[in-house]
């Protein structure tokens, strides 16, 4: 039994249905602002809530969800309001600030708290869909796409893992989802984008400077939610200035200058800390940008399909859920690649993903860390998959109808 399940009592089990009902109610109310109106929405929230609750109860007995050592710290924060975090990073302070409310209404019970952690994670998923709706425009999305998105996001293995684990991943997903809503809105300066940026800084500083870069690119180079060839040329010309701004932020926030030698030193030092886990990336030797560029494809692929052994030999079957997640992502990518034209139609959305994916791959030095840190990026692929699948299904129905009509004639 995991550390945070040890003190579950009969009272918690008895009142859990009440918490579940509250979660379903809040999700349905929030869906009024984030989803297209559809009777399926309530069915979805009831179904997914009961499914995740079942998985939670099974995990109490069988430990099917991986155990993260960090959850000991987060559990102590949830259960002890006076827990000392003075020696912890600022992200832990902000987690406590936001989690205290849910901890209070959960009666200090990690088991009940996970219902609200699931709620926050689902809000993040709804915000991602809202940002996709903003990006495509309401006339270009439909109920079928939305249903596909909701079902796939519910089955996404990492959605299950981080919904039912007391970490800050759900909070960060919600923060980045809010930022995406602002980034894809008609107004380039709006409350969502600024609150989202602030929350991103609170929960994961290393993503803040990437998000800020997206904000700058959106303000100066994106017109009608598209990057034109002229804008790409302007970005190329302005790259030195953009690089200087991002480099300054990286030094200020992470204390890491963006240079091949500095990044190489950072990665190699961090891998020493985690070497005994057997889950670290190989040593890198980056003295030039070219040497980093040569390693980039392998790093991106390893980040994308971790824990599959691309750069390192590891027991990738040791964690079933992580392995399933890698297969899940490969399956989603295959669906998208089946229709390159639809990728080009959404090139700005894909470009946002790449701007997040490539630097994250360069910084990553820990295999299971890659699984954890790619969650918020690859959730962005699901609306695109839903878009592709809906177009394929619609085309198939149209072709079948034409064949049927032709047969009658």
Render pLDDT for 59-80 as a digit per residue (tens, 0 to 9).
998 888 988 888 999 999 998 8
Q: Is 318 a residue whose pLDDT tops 80?
A: no
Say if residues 119 and 52 touch (Cβ distance below 8 Å).
no
Residue 366 pairs with which residues in a beta bridge?
A: 280
- CA dist 338 and 317 (Å) reads 28
Question: Of residues 137 and 379, which shows the higher confidence score?
Answer: 379
Kindly report the number of other CB atoms within 10 A of residue 224's CB atom.
7
Give tens-digit pLDDT for 16-42. Answer: 999 999 999 999 999 999 999 999 999
Give tens-digit pLDDT for 167-207. Answer: 999 999 999 999 999 999 988 889 999 999 999 999 998 89
Residue 302: pLDDT band (50, 70, 90) is very high
Q: Is 293 a residue whose pLDDT tops 70?
A: yes
- CA dist 302 and 311 (Å) reads 7
> What is the mean pLDDT of the segment spanning 329-358?
90
- CA dist 328 and 43 (Å) reads 24
Q: Is the peptide bond before 307 cis (omega within 30 degrees of 0)?
A: yes
Q: What are the structure tokens assigned to 245, written together?
A: 């701004």
Say if residues 94 and 113 touch (Cβ distance below 8 Å).
no
Q: Is 224 a residue whose pLDDT tops 70?
A: no
- Return the pLDDT at 220: 76
Which residue has 């030797």 as its token pair? 285
Give tens-digit pLDDT for 241-285. Answer: 777 877 888 888 778 888 999 999 999 998 888 887 778 899 999
């Amino acid at each position: 039994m995991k550390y945070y399940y040890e003190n579950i009592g009969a009272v918690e089990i008895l009142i859990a249905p009440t918490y579940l009902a509250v979660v379903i109610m809040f999700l349905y109310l929030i869906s009024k602002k984030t989803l297209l109106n559809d009777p399926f929405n309530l069915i979805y929230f009831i179904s997914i809530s009961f499914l995740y609750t079942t998985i939670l109860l099974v995990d109490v007995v069988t430990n099917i969800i991986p155990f993260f050592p960090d959850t000991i710290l987060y559990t102590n924060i949830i259960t002890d309001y006076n827990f000392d975090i003075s020696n912890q990073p600022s992200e832990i302070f902000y987690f406590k600030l936001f989690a205290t409310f849910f901890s209070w209404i959960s009666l200090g019970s990690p088991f009940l708290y996970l219902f609200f952690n699931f709620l926050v994670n689902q809000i993040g998923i709804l915000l991602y869909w809202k940002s996709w709706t903003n990006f495509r425009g309401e006339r270009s999305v439909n109920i079928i796409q939305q249903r596909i998105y909701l079902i796939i996001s519910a089955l996404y293995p990492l959605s299950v893992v981080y919904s039912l684990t007391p970490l800050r991943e759900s909070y960060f997903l919600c923060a980045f989802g809010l930022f995406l809503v602002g980034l894809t809105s008609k107004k380039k300066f709006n409350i969502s984008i600024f609150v989202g940026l602030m929350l991103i800084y609170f929960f994961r500083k290393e993503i803040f400077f990437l998000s800020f870069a997206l904000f700058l690119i959106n303000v100066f180079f994106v017109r009608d939610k598209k990057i034109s060839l002229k804008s790409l040329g302007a970005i190329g010309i302005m790259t030195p200035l953009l690089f200087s701004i991002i480099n300054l932020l990286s030094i200020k926030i992470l204390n890491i200058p963006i240079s091949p030698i500095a990044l190489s030193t950072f990665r190699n030092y961090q891998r020493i800390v985690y070497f005994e886990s057997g889950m670290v990336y190989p040593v890198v030797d980056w003295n030039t940008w070219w040497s980093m560029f040569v390693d980039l494809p392998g790093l991106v692929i390893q980040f994308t399909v971790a824990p599959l052994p691309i750069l390192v030999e590891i027991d990738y079957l040791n964690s079933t859920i992580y392995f399933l997640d890698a297969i899940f992502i490969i399956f989603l990518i295959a669906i998208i690649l089946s229709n390159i034209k639809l990728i080009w139609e959404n090139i700005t959305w894909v470009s946002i993903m790449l701007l997040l994916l490539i630097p994250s791959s360069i910084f990553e030095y820990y295999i299971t860390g890659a699984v954890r840190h790619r969650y918020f990026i690859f959730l962005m692929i699901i609306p695109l998959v839903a878009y592709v699948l809906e177009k394929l299904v619609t085309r198939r129905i149209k072709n079948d109808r034409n064949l049927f009509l032709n047969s009658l004639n």
